[in-house]
Chain A
Amino acid sequence: MSGSTSSGRVFHAVAGTISVLWLLPIVAVLVTAVRSFDDIAANGLASLPQSFTFAGFADAWTNGGAGAMWNSVLVTVPTVFLSLALSAAAAYALSRFEIPGRRSIILLMLAGNLLPPQILLVPVSKLTELLGIYDTLFALIVVQVGFGLGFYTFVLQGFMRAMPNEVQEAATIDGAGPVQIFWRIVLPMTRPALAALAALAFTWIFNDLLWAITVLRSSAVMPVTPALLALQGQYVSNWNVIAAGSVIAAIPTVAVFLRFQRHFISGLAVGAVK
C-alpha cells in the first residue's frame, strides 16, 4: 500500500540500493568461488565469469577444510553446551535464592567477560602449557567456557529473576527439591533465553580466531576460522579456492542465523540493551 505513494517509492529506492550494495561483496565472492583458476588467471578477477566449476570448493575442502570443520564441531558443540549448563545453574541459584553477596558475584562474573582478552592471552597460553593441554581442543574448550560464563550467567539470571514466584512455591509445597525445581520448572521456562544465547554463543565460538591461535599451534587441530587464515597463506592468489573457503566457513553460521533468526536477533538485543 505504501509502495504506491511517492514516499514509499523513495524508501524502496534508498533501502533497496543500500541493501544491494551491502550484498554485492557476497555476490562477488560467490561468483569468484565458482570460477576456475585458469579463467581468473587469464581474464582477471573483475571480468565476467567464463567458467563454472566447484573445483575451488573441492580444493578448499580436501586441503584441510573437512578436518577443520570437524575440529570446529568438536570445539563448538561442547563449549556451547558446557557454557550454558554451568551458567544456567549459577543463574538459577543467584536469581531464585538469597546467596550471600549475590549481586557482587553476578557483577564480578560479568566483569570477567568484559575484560579485554589481551590481558589474558600470555598467562592463559602458559597455563595450558603448564597443564600439558596446550595445542589440544580441550584447552580451547575450557578457555572459552571460562571466558563466556560471566555474560551468559548475567543474561540468564535476569531472565530467571523475572519469572513468577508462585510456580516455585507450589512445587516446594509439593515436596520438590531445589534441583528438581531447576530441572523440571525453571529450565523449561528459560528455553527462549537459552535458545537465543545458544545461537549467539555458536557464532561467537565458531567465529573465534584469537583464543584458537593463542592455545593451538598444529594445523591438525585448527578449527575453521584459523584454518581459513592458513588456507590464505597456502593458496596465495588462488582466489577461487580462497573465496570458496570463505563461503564454506560462513555456511554454518549463516545456517544457524537463518534457522534461529528471531532468537538470534533477540539475543543480541537482550545482551546489550538489558
Chain B
Amino acid sequence: MTSMTRSFTRVPPILLLFVLIPLLVEGFWVFWPAVQGFWLALTNWDGVSPPRFVGLDNYARMIDDPVFHTAVTNTAIWLVLFGGLSAVGGLGMAVLLQKERRGVGIYRAALFVPVVFSLVATSLIWQVLYQPGGIFDSSPLADPDTALHAVLVPALWRQVGYVMVLYLAGLKGIDPGLYEAATLDGATAWQKFRHITWPQLGSVNSVVLSVIVIDSLRSFDVVWSMTRGGPYHSSELLSTYMYSTAFQSLKLGYASALAVVIFVLAFGVIVTYLVRAFREN
C-alpha cells in the first residue's frame, strides 16, 4: 500500500484544505458537542440558567431512579430480542435465498422493501394493524405487559431484510465448489451449513454483531412513534428516556448522563469496529 502512494509524498497545500474543511465541520458538529455532552453530564442544567457543576450526582441519582432501571432492563431485552432475532432471521433468510434461481429476486425484494421505509412510517403501518377491531380486540400497545413486544415486531419486520442483505453479501464470497464437493460426498443441508457456510461467515458475523449492537442502542424512532416509551414507561428504552428527560422534562444534565451510559454500552463495540477498520486500512 505504501509503495502505491510513495511517488506522491509531497502534499500540495490545497489538499490539506480538502481534509481540513470536512474535519472542521465534523469537529464543530460532532466532536465539540460530544465533549460538551460529557461535561454536561456532570452538571445540573435546566437549559436557561447557567449549568451548575454537581460532580457525579447524576450517576448517583440513577441508582434510585425506577424509570432508569426499567429503561436499562428494556434496553437489554431489546438488545437480545431485536439483535438476536434479526440476526437469526436475517441469516436464515439469506441461506434460504442464497442460490440464484427463478423467483429468488422477488422473494429477496419482498423482504427488503420494509428496509427503505422510515421507522415512523413503519410504526404507523403497524399501528393500523394493531387497532382494536382488526386482528386484536384491544391494542397491544396500550397494555404495559405487551407494549415492548408490540413495538419489537415492526422493528424486526424492518431489520431482518437489512441483516439478510449483509449476510447475502458474505455468502457470495463462498466458493460454490465447496458446496458441490459436499453434495458429491452426500452431505445434508444442515451439514453444509454447519461445516461450510458458518465457518466461512466469521468476518460477516462480527460485522453483523457490531451493526446490531449499535443499531439496538440507537433504536429510538420506532418506540418514540408508537408509544413514547409508555404506557407507564413499560416500553421505555435508554434512548427514549434520554430524549424525554432532555426535551420534555428539561433536565439536561441528567439526560446527558443517560447519554453517557448509552455511550459506555456502545463503546466496546465501537472500538472493535474501529480496530477492524484500522487493520483493513
Contacts and interface: CB of A to CB of B under 8 A. Distances in A.
Contacts of A87: 22
B77 interface: no
Contacts of A178: 12, 14-15
Nearest to A115: B34
Contacts of A265: 112, 165
B30 interface: yes
Interface size class of A (residues with CB under 8 A): 35 or more
Contact of A28 (B120, B128, B204, B225): B128
Given A25-B157, A99-B15, A178-B15, A19 B134 contact: no
A31 to B, nearest CB: 10
Interface residues of B, number: 104
B29 A142 contact: yes
A64 interface: no
A46 B130 CA distance: 10
A112 B120 contact: no
A142 B30 CA distance: 11
Contacts of B109: 261
B127 A242 contact: yes
Contact of B121 (A20, A45, A96, A246): A246
Contacts of A249: 118, 120-121
Contacts of A123: 32-34, 36-37, 40
B184 interface: no
B105 to A, nearest CB: 10
Contacts of A113: 30
A122 B255 contact: yes
A15 interface: yes
Contact of A274 (B18, B114, B280): B280
A137 interface: no
A125 B247 CA distance: 10
- Interface residues of chain A: helix, strand, loop or mixed (majority): helix
B79 interface: no
A66 interface: no
B5 A98 contact: yes
A147 to B, nearest CB: 6
| A-B residue pairs, 5 tightest by C-beta | A146-B29, A207-B118, A269-B169, A123-B33, A19-B110
Interface of B: 1, 4-9, 11-12, 14-16, 18-19, 21-23, 25-26, 28-34, 36-38, 40, 47, 93, 96-97, 101-104, 106-107, 109-114, 116-121, 124-129, 131, 133-135, 157, 161-162, 165-166, 168-170, 203-204, 207-208, 211, 214, 217-218, 220-221, 224-225, 238-239, 242-243, 246-247, 252, 255-256, 258-260, 262-263, 266, 270, 273-274, 277-278, 280-281
22 contacts: A2-B101, A19-B107, A45-B128, A90-B22, A93-B18, A112-B26, A114-B273, A116-B217, A146-B25, A149-B26, A165-B5, A182-B18, A209-B220, A228-B118, A232-B124, A246-B124, A246-B128, A264-B116, A268-B162, A268-B166, A272-B208, A273-B170
